[in-house]
A = this chain, B = another copy of it.
Amino acid sequence: MNHLVPLDNLVAALSRLPGIGRRTAERMAMALVQDSKGLMRILANALLEADDGIANCERCGNVTLSAINPCELCTRHRKDAHVLCVVESPADIMKIEESGGFQGRYHALMGRISPMSGTGAADLRVDKLLARLVDEQITEVFIALGTDVESDATASYLKEVLSTRNVKVSRIAYGLPSGSAIEYSDGATLVKAIKGRQEVE
């Protein structure tokens, strides 16, 4: 296998996919080589077509057809068009859209502050966020980030930047996930759920 450079290159490229280690990449490469239905070329063409046909929305960062940019979520009627939901990535936008729980606009930062991986505030799409506040007369920025350290750092940074703007800043609620029991919840979740308790009306 040492001298099969094209195979080595394929394994190296497959290894760069998320969650794919070297062994799995080797297994995939062998399956592709041995596939009798032309999967190698089908996959290559799907990649090339996606590379041509898919782009990030210049406004919100969501994935969209290259021909439809800004994306539909940015242009079509939304009930809460003056509420801007800030998320880490396009995958988050899809997830929230699927839930049907939000009717405003989105803004993907394309990352979060992470000194470990060398991502600073300047690498995020914050300038574009600030420009949108004015352009779209945003009244509320709704921060929908996760609960890990990097998301917390990103949220803190955003709150500070937004504090000088005439805009309400909210964040997604932390607490018990739907369908969970106190008995089986972890301590960190309970602490956040207790801290975030709300008065019963």
Hey, which bits of chain A sit against chain B, CB under 8 A?
A: 1, 3-7, 9-10, 12-14, 16-20, 24, 27-34, 39-54, 56, 63-65, 72, 89-91, 94, 110
Contact = CB atoms under 8 A, between A and B. Distances in A.
A12 B50 contact: no
A90 to B, nearest CB: 6
Given A53-B6, A65-B3, A13 B30 contact: no
A16 B41 CA distance: 12
Please classify the interface of chain A as helix (H, G, I), strand (E, B), loop, or mixed, using the class held by over half of its residues. helix
30 contacts: A1-B94, A4-B63, A4-B64, A4-B65, A5-B53, A6-B49, A6-B50, A6-B54, A10-B46, A13-B39, A13-B47, A16-B39, A16-B43, A17-B31, A20-B28, A27-B91, A30-B63, A30-B91, A32-B50, A33-B50, A34-B89, A34-B91, A34-B110, A40-B47, A40-B50, A40-B51, A44-B45, A44-B47, A44-B51, A47-B47
Nearest to A35: B16
A90 B13 contact: no
Given A51-B41, A63-B33, A46 B89 contact: no
